[in-house]
A and B are shown apart, each in its own frame.
Chain A
Amino acid sequence: MGNNLVLGQYYNSKSWFHALDPRTKLLSILLLMVSVFLMSNFYFLLGTFALIIILILSTRIPFGKFLRSLRAVAMLLLFTIIFQIVFSRQGEKLWEGEFKLDGLIIMIGIILFIIFSLTKKIFPKFRSIQLLLIIAFVFVMQYFKIFNFNFNFFLTDDFISYPIKIYNEGLSLAGTVILRILSLVFVSSLLTLTTKPSDLTNGIESLLKPLKKIGINVSIFAMMISIALRFIPTLINEANKILKAQASRGVDFKESKFREKITQIISLLIPMFVIAYKRAGDLAEAMEARGYVPNSERTSINELRLKLSDYTVISVMILFLSGVITILATGLYAI
């Protein structure tokens, strides 16, 4: 169970992509990412994105898993879109409008928001939807000028007024950015969903081997990552046990007093550290007793072998990237 949380979400649907050498996947994904960054034409990006979707579909992993990975960047995505659309001033003007809120509407909005905050216990479900409804309501009121008083008093003046101009380049820029972000997120999910963490580590270690020549300690680094991966589920289980033990001693994690929070965290962290410290000592002894010498030549039970499919995929990716670079360099086409 702990495996799902942090070790990434390896989903074994046994596709051709899963079967590729991790190094191939690492390199391909890297090459794809570089290509995506180099391109700026909306239609080329769309094409690349389509290619990525096809790759994803071929892995037979449920698409929902990829969508879930978007959650992390959803805010960024939304913000970028709005920013680009609203503030870009290049190209042809497509639409012009005005964003305004008069004082009365703002006041009503604030009152509604206060009611919203206070009724947390009465209407606990769908909080975000409630909030969205309030915002929508405010704008609707403004747009339809619901409160159209004949007399003028200061609250009916526009407190916020900003001209919104949407230009076509803004739209296409927004589109470009969206495609880039989506491509990057999907491509990295592609990597983590189709590769076991241990294979990933072996792949990285293998790729970084040349660095040994300039004195960087690749094998120790790989051993450290491997041990960390091994112990993450164990640590999660132990943290749970400690939380339960402290809860049995009266620690109430719902208490929000600041001082109490500090003690709560300490009551979890110190035992974790103590366990980790002892573990490190025991593990080091066990490894030494089993003949481990850091930096010595070791063989490996895991063999990474490149097959025809690997060579093919890498070649295709290299061609793709070279193509992109060439076109860009020669200015042949506004890619």
Chain B
Amino acid sequence: MGINFQKVGFYYYTPKKKQVVEYTLSNINLNIEESNEFIAIVGHTGSGKSTLVQLMNALLLPKTGEITIGNKVLTKKTKVEMKPIRKKIGLVFQFPEYQLFEQSVLKDIMFGPRNFGFSVEEANEQAIKMSQVVGLEESLLSRNPFSLSGGQMRKVAIAGILASNPEILIFDEPTVGLDPLAKNELMSLLKKLNDDGKTIIIITHDMEVVSKYCKRVIVMKEGEIAIDTTKDQLFKTEGLLEKYSLDYPILLTLLKKIKEQYNVDLDIYKYNTNDAYLELVRVFGDSYGK
């Protein structure tokens, strides 16, 4: 179930007579494969990122253009059944812990699957499986979700979306408000899901996350896609990060400074500490100074 956008535009407020339409999104052309992609959507607040992802799971319908999800085509006038789409494209909002409401953690995780047609037994099984995947202890399953810590509640919410077994997962700022360790834990989970074949799309501001985990980057600016490219291209192309006011990942900055200082042929495009260290060894190792 891939997602394809063709000349999609969207606005929230229907203009009254003589008023110009204010497009939140315009001219969006985009193709997302149903598996293995790890995409970061970045851009300033107000650039249309949240609207874009809500179009991906049919929470919103395009005002112009068309969106193809799997074999369903969505346009302004579509009256298609939305549930199957929302089952396959899981969307996790910011601070997802706010969507919890059931009396027990298990029941809450089962809520999504039950709505999507899973039987009680199937939903139960999925719920238990997913709670393990996100790292929730079994003893928490019978507890009231509101008695858990913030980080645990977030895991419950995510498990709730995973339990319906979506193919494509979209996360709006998954790490906001988490402390560094919880952040690492969550991103490792996303990486694992991606390794297992799911397409992961995250809206994020954190360039560290982008550099460490993502493969493809879509930069949004003022409602349009400014650039849609691979992570490597984004960081390697001269001046691109500055152009879109994006931060440089720390590792990149450090390696760049080392390269400048010592004037060596150092490959600065390393996205984790291990690779960076090995590159330093390569350049500053035995062969250095000879």
Contacts and interface: CB of A to CB of B under 8 A. Distances in A.
Classify A-B as touching or not with yes or no (CB < 8 A). yes
Interface of A: 1, 241-242, 244-252, 266-267, 270-271, 274-275
Given A247-B59, A249-B160, A252-B82, A274 B99 contact: no
Interface residues of B, number: 27
Interface string B76-92: 00000011001100111
A146 to B, nearest CB: 40
B38 interface: no
A250 B86 contact: yes
Nearest to A269: B101
Given A244-B54, A245-B96, A267-B111, 6 more contacts: A242-B99, A248-B57, A248-B59, A248-B90, A248-B161, A252-B82
Given A244-B54, A267-B101, A270-B101, A250 B164 contact: yes
A247 B85 CA distance: 11
Interface in B162-191: 164
Contacts of A1: 12-13
Contacts of B146: 274
A244 B93 CA distance: 9
A251 B100 CA distance: 13
B99 A245 contact: yes
Scoring B54, B100, B101, B116 by chain A CB atoms within 10 A of each residue's CB, the highest score goes to B101
Nearest to A273: B101
A279 to B, nearest CB: 12
Contacts of A270: 101
Contacts of A250: 83, 86-87, 111-112, 114-116, 164
A11 to B, nearest CB: 14
Most buried by B among A1, A249, A274, A275: A249
Nearest to B81: A252
Interface of B: 12-13, 54, 57, 59, 82-83, 86-87, 90-93, 96, 98-101, 111-112, 114-116, 146, 160-161, 164
A271 B98 contact: yes
Contacts of B98: 241-242, 245, 271, 274-275
26 contacts: A242-B98, A242-B99, A244-B93, A245-B96, A245-B99, A246-B99, A247-B59, A248-B59, A248-B86, A249-B86, A249-B99, A249-B112, A250-B83, A250-B111, A250-B112, A250-B114, A250-B164, A251-B115, A252-B82, A252-B83, A252-B115, A267-B99, A267-B101, A271-B99, A271-B101, A274-B146
B162 to A, nearest CB: 11
A251 B113 CA distance: 11
A271 B93 CA distance: 14
Contacts of B92: 248
Contacts of A266: 101
A8 to B, nearest CB: 19
Given A242-B98, A242-B99, A248 B91 contact: yes
Contacts of A247: 59, 82, 86
Contacts of B116: 250
Given A270-B101, A271-B100, A274-B146, A249 B83 contact: no
Nearest to B93: A245
Contacts of A248: 57, 59, 86, 90-93, 161
7 smallest beta-carbon distances between A and B, as pairs: A250-B115, A270-B101, A249-B112, A245-B99, A248-B91, A250-B116, A245-B93
A299 B154 CA distance: 43
A249 B161 contact: yes
Central interface residue in A245, A248, A267, by most chain B CB within 10 Å: A248
